[in-house]
A = this chain, B = another copy of it.
Amino acid sequence: MTSHASAEPAPVALRAPAFILVRPQLGENIGAAARAMVNFGLDDLRIVAPRDGWPNERAIAAASRAFDFITPRIFPTLDEAMADLALVYATTGRRREFVKEVLGPRTAISRLEDASRSGIAAGILFGPERAGLETDEIASCQALLTLPVNPEFPSLNLGQIVVILTYEWAQARGRFSLGDVAFPQILASHAELAGLFDHLEAELNESGFFHPPEKTPAMIRNIRASLARPGFTEQEVRTWRGIIKALAHGRGRKNS
């Protein structure tokens, strides 16, 4: 928003999709899911009938304090866990018996995010580790979500699937973006680099480096290209000028 734009209402805090673990077996996977969710800014974790009850010591250990940030809601049945949701995708392997769209993670998350922006409550189901979701559970979802993995080794565990989807969601929403910064403010200017080139060329000329004379322009061009490439900072330019001075006039030269 530009500074002269008229005041607009602050954006509504959009809900993140609910992640629903259905009858999870291993506390480690519940903890890993919670850890991934908090890392990527999701907060709606729901657990249907966890095999080992709740709370679960192994889940807490694997969560690495993620449960300080989110409190999972425990439901006896999947119908109760997804009662408020209008758009739900079911994670599955490459099954083909359903007449539903099979979406990859990027497409699926993009659609869930579009839905969230329209005020639609969305969620993703994750089945139990060994058996996966039951047919009836999948049938009640709007689409299937499948990770595109090696067909010879389709072996992601529940925690790995959750971390990929939480990551994709943070990317889709633009959360915690780094902006791929290149520190332009401290890169040396062209004038500083030109001063470095001039200094180096003068010393090399003095030392008889440029030989034969007809090749000098190409040699200079190559050196300039080489020094331009790294994206030197101001400090590095100063360092390299010190290096040139030392090589040309320093102790090593005096003793030779």
Contact = CB atoms under 8 A, between A and B. Distances in A.
Interface in A3-21: none
A156 interface: yes
A232 to B, nearest CB: 9
Interface residues of A, number: 51
Contacts of A180: 101-104, 107
A55 interface: no
Interface in A150-185: 150-157, 159-160, 163-164, 167, 170-171, 175-178, 180-183
A146 interface: yes
Contacts of A218: none
Interface in A94-132: 94, 99, 101-107
Nearest to A142: B230
A104 B69 contact: no
Given A163-B164, A177-B148, A39 B156 contact: yes
A150 to B, nearest CB: 5
Nearest to A154: B39
Number of copies: 2
Nearest to A156: B39
Contacts of A65: 153, 155
Contacts of A170: 148-149
Given A160-B163, A163-B156, A164-B167, A40 B175 contact: no
A157 B94 CA distance: 28
A101 B182 contact: yes
Contact of A39 (B104, B153, B182): B153
A157 B34 CA distance: 13
A35 interface: yes
Interface string A37-56: 01111000000000000000
28 contacts: A36-B160, A39-B149, A39-B154, A39-B155, A39-B156, A40-B150, A64-B155, A65-B153, A65-B155, A66-B153, A69-B153, A94-B178, A99-B186, A99-B233, A99-B235, A102-B181, A103-B178, A103-B180, A106-B171, A147-B167, A148-B171, A148-B175, A148-B178, A149-B170, A150-B175, A159-B160, A163-B164, A167-B167
